[in-house]
Structure 1
C-alpha cells in the first residue's frame, strides 16, 4: 500500500508538472482570482530561477496582494517608492471598502505606466521583459507595472561606420533607446513603430518603423509578413533576421542594409524605406535596398555636392579595381603580354624571373595572406589590431619579394586592391566583392580576358534579376529612370533633388518645395 501511495504521488506530481509545462508552451489559461492558486502556478514555472522574487502584502484585513518580478530587470527603489509604499500608506483609505477592487488599487499607485492582464501568458511575458506584476486576492486581473531597469551601454559613436561629417550618435543594444534616437530626429505623427516578438525562447522585441505618408503599404505588409513567418528558438542579433527575410539568400550581394547610424535610418525612411530595429542589437536593418545604395555613405549628403560627386566617382573606380585588378594582372602576365608596354613587360618579366610559381598561384598566396591579416587585425584588441595588420603586411610583403616567392609588381597589385576594398561604406558589400575577386582570378587564369568578360557578364545578369522586397537591385538603371539618376553616380545639389526614389517613395514623390534656391 505504501508503494502504491508513492506511485500515485509521483504520477500526480508528473501530471502537475506536465500541466505547467503545457501552460508554459501554449500560454493558455486565465487567472482564477484565487491569489495563492494563481501565484503557485506562476511560481512553479519559475522553479530553479533564483532571480525570481516576490513580496507578499496585506492591503487590509480582507485583501492580500503579491508582487512578482525578476531581480536585476527592475528598479527596486522605484518599486518601493511607486508600488509598495503607496499600497502601505493608502491602506487606511482602502479599509473603507470591504473588498479592495483593482481600480481602487490602481488609483493609489504612482507609477507612470500601469496596465492590466488576465492571462498567464501576458503575466509571464511581462515578468520576463522586466515588468512588475501585482496579483490581488479575489481579482481575476493582475496589474502590470513598467519599472524596468538594467545595465546598458551609453550612446556612443558608431564603431563599424566611421563618421567624418554628421551626427556621431550610434545605436545601442536597448531597443527603447534606439527608438528614441529615431523619434528625436523625426518629430511627426507620421512616423510609425510596430512592435512584435520573435523567438520561441528569447521573445526578442522587434520594431518595424516607417513613415506612414511615404512608405509603400505593399512593402510594409511584406516586411510584416516575413517577420511573422520567422519561427526560431532565439534572435540574438539583427543578423539572424537579415538572413531569414532576404529575397535571394544564396546571392553573395546583400539585400538588406545593416547600420549603426540613426541618421542613416532616418534618411532612408524619408525615401520611403522601412527600418527594422531589434532589441539587444546595435545594428538596425533597412529594406528594400539597391546596389547604388550600398555605394553611398551618409556623409555624401552632409558635404558640398561637387566634392561628394568626385568622391563617388573615385569610389566606383576603385570598385572596379577591387574586383578586377588581380584578375587583369593574371590575364596580362599569362595570356596577353602584347597589351603591356615593352618597357613594362621587361620590368615585370625581370621581377618574376626568380618566382617559382605561375601568376595565379602567386596572386592567390598574397591575396589569402592579405585576407588573413585583415581578419587578424579585426580579432586582435583594437589598440594593436591595426598596427599588427599594417606591419605584418609590410614585413611579409618585403620578405616574400626578397625570398623570390612573389614579385614586386604583385605586391603593388595586392596592396592597391586591398586599399580599394576599404572604400565601400557597407561591410557586407565589401565581403561580396572580396569573394567575387577570387572567382574572377580563376576565370582569368583559365581564359584570360575572355574569362574576365564572361565573369562580368554573369555578375551584371545576376544583379539585374536580383530583387529586394520586390524592388529591382539595379534601380534606377534597370529599369531605367532618368529622374532618379541625380543621386547615383554623382550627387546633384539639394535644390535639384526634389523627388524621392520612385521605387520606394512614389506615394509622395515631392520632398522639396518649389524655388528652394532664390539667388
Structure 2
C-alpha cells in the first residue's frame, strides 16, 4: 500500500515539475521574442509586455521628408528629455537623405544612423524584446524603424542622484573626503581618477533575473592572481535570484561559509581604500544603486587596518594597530573574565581589589553572569536604538539613555558600579575597530564567551578562544586562507599586518594573494 502511494506521489511530483518547467520555458520564450519588421506590431508587443504604464513614452514620427515611419520608446523620469528631443527626434526629422523620395532604403539608413546621423556616445543594436526592455528600463531610448528587425538602443540616461559626499559609515581623519555614490559609473570613475593604469580592468555582469542590475568586477591585470579573478567570476555567474539590490546580498551569495560570524569580504565607501586594495592584488565588486563596494579576498588582520595607517608616520600607526588588537580582545573577553573571576576564581583577584568589588556588590540580588548579561543586553539595545533613530535623537538616546539607566541601576542596587565600568570599557573597546562588520562579530562572540565563563570559568574562556582560532584557521575568502599571514605563515607580510613599518620597507605586495607582480617599490626609491 505504502509503495504504491509512494510511486503515485513520485509521478505527481514529476508531472508538477514538468509543468513548472514548461511554464518557466514559456515565460523565457516570451521575454526572448525576436523583433519583426513591422513597426506597429513591435510597438504593440512592448506595450503589452509592460502593460501600458503611464510613464511609458512612445513618439512616432517620419524620417526627413519621407513617409518612412519610426518611433522612439523610453520611460519618463529615467531619460534626459532634451537629449531625446534634440539629439534623436529632431536630428532624424531633419536628416539629409541622398534622394528626395517617399521611401527610405532601411538597410542603408541603418548604417547611416550610427555613422553619420546620430551623435550619441552610446549606441547598441537589440534584436529581442528582452534587450529592448532592459535598455529602456536602464534609462536608454529605443529607436524603432519600420522595416528593420533590429532596434537601436541610444544612451540617454539621466535621473536624480546624490552628489559626492564624505563617507557616512567610515570617518575620515586624514585623506581624501570623497565617497562613493549610488551611481556605478561615478564610482568607477573615482577609481580610474586614482589609478591611471591601462591594465585596470572592469568586467560587467547582469545580476538578478528580474532586476537585471549592473555589477562590475574590477582588478588590475598583471598584479592580481588570475585564479582569484576566475573564482570571483564563477561565483558571480552562479547568482540566480530575482533581485540584487545591495552588495550585502552579493556577499552572502558568493562567500565561502554562510555559517561563519566573521565577514569574509570588506565593505567600504572610500575610493582610496579600493585603489589600495586593487594595488595589493585583490578584486573589487561594484553594484549599481549602492555606495558600498566589496573587496576580496579578505583576511582577519586586514579588518584592523585603516587607510589612515598609511597617511601617518609608522611609529604612531604601529602603536594604534597594537591598540586595536588589544581592544578586540577586551571587547570579546572582558565581561567573561569578570564572570569567571567572581564566580570560579576569586582567589586570583588581589585582596584589596577583591574587598572593593565585594563592597560594591553588597546587596546586588543577581549572580555575576545575570548581572553582566542584563547590562550587556541593555547596552546592545541602546546601540541599535541610536543607529535606527534620526541622528539628533539617536545621539541623545545613546548618551542620556546610557547615563540614566546605568545610574538608576546602580542606585536601585540591581547592578554594581564595577559592572557599569566593565560594560562601558567593553563598548569603548569595540568602537576602536575601523570595520563595522568585524565589530558586529566581536559583539556577538562576547555573549558566547560570557556563557562559557559562567559554565566553566577560565577553562571555558580558553576553550572559546581555541575554537575561534580553529574556525579562523579553517575559513577562506575566495580561496585565500582567512588567517593569513598568521597561518599559513608569510614572514614578509608581517611588515604590514600587526606592525606598520616605514613605507620604504614595504617593498613587496602581500604574498598571501600570490600576485603576479610582487614588487611594489622600485629599486631607485629613496630609503
Establish whether TM, by shorter chain, passes 0.5.
Answer: yes
Please, what TM-score do these two structures have when normalized by structure 1? 0.94
Aligned-residue offset at 1:127: 1.1
Within 1, Cα distance between the matches of 2:376 and 2:361?
Answer: 17
444-453 or 99-108: bigger deviation: 99-108
Within 2, Cα distance between the matches of 1:105 and 1:490?
Answer: 61
Unmatched tracts of structure 2, length 5 or more: 1-21
Query: Is 1:323 aligned with 2:323?
Result: no
| 2:84 maps to which of 79, 96, 108 | 79
SS at match of 2:217: strand
128-137 or 114-123: bigger deviation: 114-123
Please, what TM-score do these two structures have when normalized by structure 2? 0.92
Aligned-residue offset at 1:48: 3.8
Q: Summarize the Cα distance change of 1:435–1:19 in structure 2 as closer, same or farther, 3 Å threshold.
A: closer
| 1:46 maps to which of 24, 44, 50 | 50
Aligned-residue offset at 1:122: 1.7
Contact persistence 1:211–1:269 (CA under 8 A): yes
Alignment map for 1:207-218 (pairs within 5 Å):
207-218=216-227
Within 2, Cα distance between the matches of 1:262 and 1:487?
Answer: 20
SS at match of 1:55: strand
Alignment map for 1:342-421 (pairs within 5 Å):
342-421=351-430
Within 2, Cα distance between the matches of 1:111 and 1:227?
Answer: 31
| 2:157 maps to which of 133, 148, 151 | 148
Aligned-residue offset at 1:449: 0.5
Contact persistence 1:63–1:99 (CA under 8 A): no
Aligned-residue offset at 1:503: 1.9
Per-residue deviation, residues 302-352 of structure 1 (Å, max 9, x unmatched): 111111101011111111111110000001111111111111100100110
| 1:103 maps to which of 111, 115, 119 | 111
Per-residue deviation, residues 56-92 of structure 1 (Å, max 9, x unmatched): 0111434110101111110001111111111122256
Query: Is 1:90 aligned with 2:68?
Result: no
Q: Summarize the Cα distance change of 1:94–1:453 in structure 2 as closer, same or farther, 3 Å threshold.
A: farther
Within 2, Cα distance between the matches of 1:21 and 1:49?
Answer: 26
Aligned-residue offset at 1:299: 0.8
Aligned-residue offset at 1:384: 2.5
| 2:71 maps to which of 61, 66, 70 | 66
Within 2, Cα distance between the matches of 1:313 and 1:218?
Answer: 33
SS at match of 1:506: coil
State the Cα RMSD in Å: 1.7
Within 2, Cα distance between the matches of 1:354 and 1:34?
Answer: 88
Aligned-residue offset at 1:121: 2.3
356-365 or 134-143: bigger deviation: 134-143
SS at match of 2:198: coil
Aligned residues: 501
Query: Is 1:270 aligned with 2:299?
Result: no
384-393 or 75-84: bigger deviation: 384-393
Within 2, Cα distance between the matches of 1:95 and 1:422?
Answer: 75
Within 1, Cα distance between the matches of 2:322 and 2:132?
Answer: 57
| 2:322 maps to which of 313, 327, 352 | 313
Within 2, Cα distance between the matches of 1:450 and 1:98?
Answer: 87
Q: Summarize the Cα distance change of 1:414–1:23 in structure 2 as closer, same or farther, 3 Å threshold.
A: closer
Alignment map for 1:199-278 (pairs within 5 Å):
199-278=208-287
Q: Summarize the Cα distance change of 1:194–1:299 in structure 2 as closer, same or farther, 3 Å threshold.
A: same
SS at match of 2:273: helix
Q: 1:9 matched to which residue of 2?
A: none
Q: Summarize the Cα distance change of 1:413–1:19 in structure 2 as closer, same or farther, 3 Å threshold.
A: closer
Aligned-residue offset at 1:31: 2.0
Aligned-residue offset at 1:120: 2.0
| 2:37 maps to which of 29, 33, 37 | 33
Contact persistence 2:452–2:460 (CA under 8 A): yes
Per-residue deviation, residues 223-244 of structure 1 (Å, max 9, x unmatched): 1111111110101111111111
Unmatched tracts of structure 1, length 5 or more: 1-17
228-237 or 95-104: bigger deviation: 95-104
Within 2, Cα distance between the matches of 1:233 and 1:499?
Answer: 42
274-283 or 99-108: bigger deviation: 99-108
SS at match of 1:187: coil
Q: 2:7 matched to which residue of 1?
A: none
Alignment map for 1:479-490 (pairs within 5 Å):
479-490=488-499
Contact persistence 1:238–1:283 (CA under 8 A): yes
| 1:163 maps to which of 162, 172, 185 | 172
Aligned-residue offset at 1:28: 2.0
